[in-house]
Amino acid sequence: MAELSRKGVARRSWPESLHWDWSRKAPELELLATRGIGIFCEQDWQGAMMTRTVVHYSRLDDDSGKPLVYIDFLEAAPWNWPIAPINQQRRFKGVGVMLMREAVKQSVGEGFHGRVGLHALPQAERFYREVCGMTAFEPGPGGGPLVYFEFARAQAKRFLGGDAHEGARKDLRGGTRGHPRGNPRGNPRENPRENPRGGS
């Protein structure tokens, strides 16, 4: 944040999740309905996600009213954000895909058949639409400003078995831009106790 400010980058170009404070979300993990998953690799948290399994239901016609895994927060660590204005290249690519994959696996394990839903920040819409292949619901009157995305069963199955998953695995094993050493293995952990802060 300091570097963005120092280099005069306009606020609208800052990563939208910069203000998230994961330490404030930690108490939620005491609930049975909430689950935290983090990716720990090379002595650092590379990304984290918080999901909920109650009071969120499918909006898709085929599964309308049936429960799903709702992603409350999903964030790659700040050092994995490519930020052009300050020439920052990410250490690892594919963190978001790996976390999404865990969410779909959780949904399958819960008996929700891969149904996953979330509201996306505008900067992340392209990821959920094009990389994940989720169905988008534009904000309606009286609703919030964010686009809602949902995985239908078939989309989730395709995502788990598809190229997105393979791409992520290669990136986290074989090194990425700015991180040529290789050998980092993505290691999803449940309810990480350390503080994988996404914001500052």
Partner 1 sequence: MTLNLTAAEMEVLEALAQRKDLSKTAVIRQALRLLQLVDTRVAQGEKLFFEDEVQKKKAELMVL
Three-state DSSP state, 44:
strand
The residue within the footprint of partner 1, chosen from 1, 33, 86, 154 (CB under 8 A), is 33
- Does 154 contact partner 1 by CB under 8 A? no
Burial of 96 (0-12, 13-18, 19+ CB in 10 A): buried
CA atoms within 13 A on the CB side of 116: 31
CB of 190 within 8 A of CB of 36?
Answer: yes
Nearest approach, Cβ of residue 67 and partner 1 (Å):
6
The alpha helices in the chain, defined as continuous H runs, are 2-6, 22-25, 95-110, 125-126, 153-161, 163-174
Q: Does position 86 bind partner 1 by CB under 8 A?
A: no
CA distance 30 to 26: 8
- Confirm or reject binding of residue 140 to partner 1 (CB under 8 A): no
Q: For tokens 């290691």, what's the residue?
A: 187
- The yes or no reply on residue 63 touching partner 1 (CB under 8 A) is yes
Cβ 161 vs Cβ 12: under 8 Å: no
Q: DSSP code of 129?
A: I
Cβ 153 vs Cβ 113: under 8 Å: yes
Kindly indicate which of the ranges 6-14, 52-60, 118-126, 192-200 contains the residues binding partner 1, using the contact rule CB under 8 A.
Answer: 52-60
Among 25, 66, 157, 158, binds partner 1 (CB under 8 A): 66
Q: From the list 1, 31, 86, 136, which residue makes contact with partner 1 (rule: CB under 8 A)?
A: 31
| Cβ 151 vs Cβ 114: under 8 Å | yes
Nearer to partner 1, 66 or 173 (CB): 66
| Span interacting with partner 1, options 48-56, 83-91, 144-152, 172-180, rule CB under 8 A | 48-56
Min. distance of Cβ 152 from partner 1 in angstroms? 13
Under rule CB under 8 A, residue 61 binds partner 1: no
Which listed range, 12-20, 58-66, 74-82, 158-166, lies at the site for partner 1 (CB under 8 A)? 58-66
DSSP class of 91: S
Mark the segment that binds partner 1 (CB under 8 A) among 10-18, 50-58, 76-84, 170-178.
50-58
Binding site for partner 1 (CB under 8 A): 30-33, 53-55, 63, 65-67, 110-113
